[in-house]
Amino acid sequence: MSLSLRILIVEDNPGDADLLQLQLPEDGSVREVVCVPRLAAALDRVEAGDVDLVFLDLALPDSFGLDTLRRMRRQAEKLPVIVLTGNSDEETGLQAIREGAQDFLVKGELTTHLLARSIKYAVERSRSENALKELNDTLEQRVAERTEALLRANEALRSEIGERQRAEEEQRRVKEQWERTFASVPDLIAILDNHHRVLQVNEAMARRLGVEAQECVGVPCHQVVHGTSIPPEFCPHSRTVCDGRTHQEQVQVERFGGDFLVTTTPLLDEQGRSVGSVHIAHDISEHKRAEAELHASAQRLAALLDAQREIAAAGLEYRPLLQLILDIMSRLTGADGASLEVADGDEMVYEAASGLAEGFVGLRMQREGSLSGRCLTSGELKRADDSESDLRVDREACRKMGLRSLLVIPLRYGHHSFGVLKLMSRRVAGFDESAERTLRLMGEFLGVTVARQRAQAALKQVNEELERRVAERTAQLRERDQMLLLQSRQAAMGEMIGNIAHQWRQPLNALGMLIQEIPMVYEFGELDQRYVDLTAQRSMSIIRHMSRTIDDFRNFFRPDKEKVRFHVREEVKKTLSLIEAGFQACEIKVEVVGDGDPVVHGYPNEYSQVLLNILLNARDALVERRVYPPTVQIAIGERVVSVCDNAGGIPQEIIDKVFEPYFTTKGPHAGTGVGLFMSKNIIEKNMGGRLTVRNTEEGACFLIEVGEVP
């Protein structure tokens, strides 16, 4: 045997696997033998591609029966497989061969000769089956390709036959359609030869000529249409015959009583030579009339747009604007007079008038029964062509004004009619359709314009009254705010006077001791120039310190006139210097923490007053509640400054009221209730920030937040 096979034995019984391996032929046909006990391991080896033949036991730990063979065949369809069965599994072996195994062997009947024969048979059978399968696949592919080619050829032949039939049917249909179209086209069509002779005309041309279509054939077109013996100079057919191009000409044909756009297109034979032209005459009489009307309408519309722009750009008050509207409408319509009337209860009032009605501004007439009232009620244009015979108008009033005809249109704003515009003429039927169209086109614009102008006039009056009331109320509120600010400053001033007393007490004591010391020094004979100079220097130093204290307090109460940039930390330091002595007298410790130093655009003295109000409230709470040790902490952050104490906080039921005016917990003799109210106004209204309060575990904490300078 000239084979050199790599054999895979799939057997979970080691004894059977070793016996099978010992009985394999030793003639060099077997190069490598690998044994695995499970199907999963066998499938991995097969997938790796280093197996030529498989001995497969159907009873494995991870697979049993013919399903074992099926799984192996799915993994490697062309790989030869010899199934190993027990003594009583011959039927299973035969079924395995039917499902693709090349052979089956009974484990107890194995011999070397039998194994060699089975291996050779399995390999050769597998090769034959694979070759036969490939040959069968190739044959089936060729049959399929040839069948597909025949089908395509057959389909192409059927398609060609069908296409020819469709082409013939389409040609017949197109011919019939062309003939129907040629006969039904409303344009006047004639086919002419190069000598101006008529070859064919459509029904529309024949009807216009008043003859049968056949009667025109062979007759020169200029004779049939124009009644001349030679073609006219403008004949487009002559130019088409000369240059072989399409030509167009607008022609007025007296015989047809209208204007026509005549187009001649060259007619060519199969060799591309000119044999005549297709002569098409399109009736443009209506188009010409429409053009004339459109031109007139464009002029009228341009005049209306100019009028609207003139009215819109006038920028006049109510009554001068009404007068301008009446003048423009009289100019556009040729009216001898005009009036604008508005409804006022049961009456119509002349708001403005011009021309014949110029002297009747303010005239009132009954709405019911008048032409103006009818127009307003119906919301439609009304006209009276003769005031002498029209019962809807007041004849005597018309005679008094000297008018004979009227044109009235309602003035609307939205769906509401509030007045009318009336045009007057001295002539009977003095207004034509053009004037009526002009009035209709302008009616909506005038209604909106007049309504808005009336509303603006009314709004102006209301605004003036509102401004007066706002000014009065603002003055009252300003006076109240000034009173509140005065009360707040007076209360703060009282506190400051106490602080001044604290600040001056120690310097005054020191100054008093220096003065008392002079007689004693004199008595001991030590009063020399050096002592006098030293005592004077020390006294002046104390006096300058007291003077600076006065300046600091005076600057604190000086109002800021405009916003400036200032550092919050500097204002905190300045405020603390004013109250330091008073807080020390109460043994209150003030701590300043935090590394921030926001730069704020605002009023520094007002900011200091806010700090002062909060600090003084904290001092009062600490003293009243006898907190030990009393502490106030000022934390300076990047945007927020917090002032917190350890006095136990604000009762929850009143914490939302502390910023209200005149609210105080100190009693009427100890507080005004405006300090925190003014503080909140300063921070939030004057400086665009926020002032809030919350309770902590130890006490109340006020948060001052003012935006940094961009």
pLDDT in tens, 274-300: 888 898 888 888 888 887 777 777 777
> Residues 425-452: what's their mean pLDDT?
84
386 token code pair: 């003769």
Task: State residue 29 phi and psi, 5-degree precision.
Answer: -80, -15
Q: What is the pLDDT of residue 613?
A: 82
Q: What is the pLDDT of residue 635?
A: 92
Q: Of the ranges 49-63, 105-119, 547-561, which one carries the lowest mean pLDDT score?
A: 547-561
Q: Which residue has the higher pLDDT, 249 or 451?
A: 249
Q: What is the pLDDT of residue 504?
A: 58
Report the distance separating Cα 542 and Cα 535, nearest Å: 11
Report the distance separating Cα 550 and Cα 558, nearest Å: 13
Prediction pTM value: 0.36
Residue % of the chain over a pLDDT of 90: 8
Given phi > 0 = left and psi -120 to 50 = alpha, else beta, which region is 594?
left
Q: What is the pLDDT of residue 396?
A: 86
Q: 């169209």: which residue's tokens?
A: 437
Q: What is the pLDDT of residue 553?
A: 55
Residues 6+ apart with CB under 8 A from 279: 189, 190, 191, 192, 221, 236, 237, 262, 263, 264
pLDDT for 356 beyond 80? yes
Q: Of the ranges 120-129, 134-143, 225-234, 487-496, which one carries the lowest mean pLDDT score?
A: 487-496
Q: What is the pLDDT of residue 703?
A: 93
Q: What is the pLDDT of residue 692?
A: 92
> Residues 680-709: what's their mean pLDDT?
85
Q: What is the pLDDT of residue 545?
A: 58
* Edge-to-edge strand list for the sheet holding 416-425: 364-366, 347-355, 337-344, 416-425, 405-413, 382-384
* Nearest alpha carbon to residue 494 among 269, 672, 688: 672
Q: Angle CA(648)–CA(652)–CA(655) in degrees, nearest 5?
A: 90
* Nearest alpha carbon to residue 703 among 437, 695, 136, 223: 695
Q: Of the ranges 58-67, 386-395, 492-501, 624-633, which one carries the lowest mean pLDDT score?
A: 492-501
pLDDT band for position 498 (50/70/90)?
A: low
pLDDT band for position 702 (50/70/90)?
A: very high
pLDDT band for position 427 (50/70/90)?
A: very high
Report the distance separating Cα 659 and Cα 692, nearest Å: 9
Q: What is the pLDDT of residue 495?
A: 54
> Residues 163-174: what's their mean pLDDT?
84
SS3 126: helix
Q: What is the pLDDT of residue 52?
A: 85
SS3 317: coil
204 token code pair: 């529309």
Q: How many CA atoms lie within 13 Å of 663's alpha carbon, on the beta-carbon side?
A: 11
> Residues 59-64: what's their mean pLDDT?
88
Q: What is the pLDDT of residue 710?
A: 44
* Most confident range, picked from 122-131, 407-416, 453-462, 526-535: 407-416
In sequence order, which ranges of 524-656 are alpha helices (DSSP H)?
A: 529-556, 568-585, 604-625
> Residues 437-455: what's their mean pLDDT?
80
pLDDT for 611 beyond 90? no
Q: What is the pLDDT of residue 669?
A: 46
> Residues 473-480: what's their mean pLDDT?
72
397 token code pair: 């009033």
3-state SS string for 241-273: HHHCCCEEEEEEECCCCEEEEEEEEEEECCCCC
Q: Are strands 631-636 and 589-593 parallel, antiparallel or unpaired?
A: parallel
Task: State residue 688 phi and psi, 5-degree precision.
Answer: 65, 30
Length of the chain counted residue by residue = 710
Q: What is the pLDDT of residue 385?
A: 92
Query: Over the chain, what is the mean pLDDT?
Result: 82
Q: What would the pLDDT profile of 74-114 be if each residue is shown by its tens digit?
A: 888 888 888 888 766 678 878 888 888 888 888 877 787 88
Q: Is 97 exposed, middle or buried (0-12, 13-18, 19+ CB in 10 A)?
A: middle
Q: What would the pLDDT profile of 556-594 be if each residue is shown by its tens digit?
A: 555 555 788 889 898 888 888 777 777 887 888 999 998
* Nearest alpha carbon to residue 680 among 696, 657, 699: 657
pLDDT band for position 25 (50/70/90)?
A: confident
pLDDT for 550 beyond 70? no
Q: Of the ranges 153-157, 334-338, 457-461, which one carries the lowest mean pLDDT score?
A: 457-461
Q: Which residues pair with 592 in a beta bridge?
A: 634
Q: What is the pLDDT of residue 499?
A: 54
pLDDT for 129 beyond 90? no
pLDDT for 237 beyond 50? yes
SS3 192: strand
pLDDT for 61 beyond 80? yes
Q: Which residue has the higher pLDDT, 538 or 76?
A: 76
pLDDT band for position 162 (50/70/90)?
A: confident
pLDDT for 1 beyond 50? no
Report the distance separating Cα 63 and Cα 41, nearest Å: 12
Q: Which residues of 111-150 are buried (b: 16+ CB within 10 A; e: fewer)?
A: eeeebbebbbebbeebeeeeeeeeeeeeeeeeeeeeeeee
pLDDT for 305 beyond 80? no
- Contact by Cβ (8 Å): 612, 579: yes
pLDDT for 473 beyond 90? no
Q: Are strands 5-10 and 30-36 parallel, antiparallel or unpaired?
A: parallel
pLDDT for 24 beyond 90? no
pLDDT for 202 beyond 70? yes
Given phi > 0 = left and psi -120 to 50 = alpha, else beta, which region is 681?
alpha
Q: What is the pLDDT of residue 423?
A: 92
